[in-house]
């Protein structure tokens, strides 16, 4: 398989998995306190930057069908892009450092808490600080509390496959 086709297929597969997990678990994926299980995948750019587009597209697709409409399509997708890009940059800046993954896992929490918290406040009238805290809490639980240990447990066994996927 040529490299471009391999990249396209891998990007589509990541996008499809993210969107499907979000939609299938819709009851906990949307709202001020959301536990988007698919957000565990935002750690993938720590392995390789090529995962950034698949995750961004997957979020976009999930938000098209989600309950918050255009604001979430724009702001939610932007928050995901900035989050996964920050995860990637952290992996490069802190390469080999013991706490690099832990630091990287906090970016999606901070970025989503700010952007989605503001979105929920402006477009849906929810209290700003409360919205930020709720979004941040959900992100922190899924990505840092669940995602980081899962990442570490899979790291030695499967990451060569994930690195070679592109």
pLDDT in tens, 48-71: 999 999 999 999 999 999 999 999
- pTM score of the predicted model: 0.93
Q: What is the 3-state secondary structure (H, E, C) of the chain?
A: CCHHHHHHHHHHHHHHHHHHHHHHCHHHHCCCCCCCHHHHHHHHHHCCCCHHHHHHHHHHHHHHHCCCHHHHHHHHHHHHHHHHHHHHHHHHHCCCCCCHHHHHHHHHHHHHHHHHHHHHHHHHCCCHHHHHHHHHHHHHHHHHHHHHHHHHHHHHHHHHHHHHCC
Mean pLDDT over 99-107 rounds to 97
Confidence of residue 96 (pLDDT cuts 50, 70, 90): confident
The tokens of 33 are what?
A: 């306190």
Mean pLDDT over 62-90 rounds to 97
Cβ contact 161:48 at 8 Å? no
The answer to whether residue 164 scores a pLDDT higher than 60 is: yes
Instruction: Give me the sign of the Cα torsion angle 67, 70, 73, 79.
Output: negative
CA distance 48 to 11: 12
The residue extents of the domains of the chain are: 3-165
3-165 maps to CATH 1.10.3470 = no
CA distance 86 to 111: 9
């Amino acid at each position: 398989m040529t490299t471009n086709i391999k990249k396209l297929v891998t990007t589509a597969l990541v996008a499809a998995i993210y969107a499907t997990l979000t939609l299938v678990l819709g009851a906990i994926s949307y709202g001020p306190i959301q536990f988007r299980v698919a957000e565990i995948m935002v750690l993938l750019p720590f392995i390789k930057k090529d995962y950034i587009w698949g995750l961004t597209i997957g979020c976009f697709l999930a938000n098209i069908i989600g309950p918050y409409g255009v604001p979430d399509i724009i702001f939610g997708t932007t928050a995901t892009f900035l989050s996964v890009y920050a995860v990637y940059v952290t992996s490069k800046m802190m390469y080999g450092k013991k706490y690099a993954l832990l630091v990287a896992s906090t970016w999606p929490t901070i970025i989503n808490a700010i952007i989605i918290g503001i979105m929920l406040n402006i477009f849906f009238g929810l209290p700003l600080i409360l919205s930020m805290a709720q979004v941040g809490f959900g992100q922190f639980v899924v990505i840092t509390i669940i995602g980081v240990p899962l990442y570490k447990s899979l790291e030695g066994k499967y990451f060569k496959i994930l690195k070679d996927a592109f």
